[in-house]
Amino acid sequence: MSKIQIHCTIPKDFDTEFRDLVARLEGPWKKGSYGKHLAMAIKEYVTSHNKQQQIAKNEQNADPKRKEIMKTREVMEKIRKEIFWKGIEINRGTGIPEKLLLDAIIKVKNLKNNPGDRRTPYKWIRKLIEYEFIHKKGFNMYEVLDTGQDWSELETIEEKVEQENSKLLI
């Protein structure tokens, strides 16, 4: 490996602290030990920075299914709060009339002022059913399976994604 000289100015106390560390690690002062440890420190810094960038990149490119589940969970939490303001507390097993659920979705997704496609609220109902937040209980009734509020986020989402992926493979 070829070497180059680096000239820079660093705080004196940092230099003293680094030299003391090198002396403790290497024992008696040896030629090249300061440069060797400085190169290792720079390499460690670059490696750490690259790992952080890779983690950030992985989070940005996270599984689209996982992002969709997170978004649906947020919508379910907003629906729960919206229905709560109408005087009904939503827990697991609570029955919700379809009209109340549609009204809450329209309010949460701001579809009243911006109606767009009239099928949109039903799309959200299908998503809530698909990710097992609700299920059809009877004619125009839905039962809450998960309120979206008490997940341990990562484990549960990853389990749901794995279940979805296993359903697709079968």
Helix (H, G, I), strand (E, B) or coil at 138: strand
Q: How confident is the model at residue 43 (pLDDT cuts 50, 70, 90)?
A: confident
pTM comes to: 0.50
Mean pLDDT of 50-75: 76
Mean pLDDT of 141-148: 80
Sheet of 95-97: strands edge to edge?
A: 95-97, 141-144, 134-138
The first and second tokens of residue 155, run together, are: 């484990």
Q: Which range, of 84-88, 90-94, 154-158, averages the lowest pLDDT?
A: 154-158
* Residues 159-169: b if buried by 16+ CB within 10 A, e if exposed: ebbeebeeeee
How do beta strands 95-97 and 141-144 pair?
A: antiparallel
Q: Tell me, what amino acid is at 24? A: R
Q: Which range, of 62-66, 87-91, 162-166, averages the lowest pLDDT?
A: 162-166
Q: How confident is the model at residue 153 (pLDDT cuts 50, 70, 90)?
A: very low
How far is residue 161's CA from residue 90's CA, in Å, rounded to a whole number? 25
The first and second tokens of residue 9, run together, are: 């100015």
Write the CATH number of the domain with boundaries 64-169.
1.10.10
How far is residue 6's CA from residue 12's CA, in Å, rounded to a whole number? 17
Q: How confident is the model at residue 164 (pLDDT cuts 50, 70, 90)?
A: low
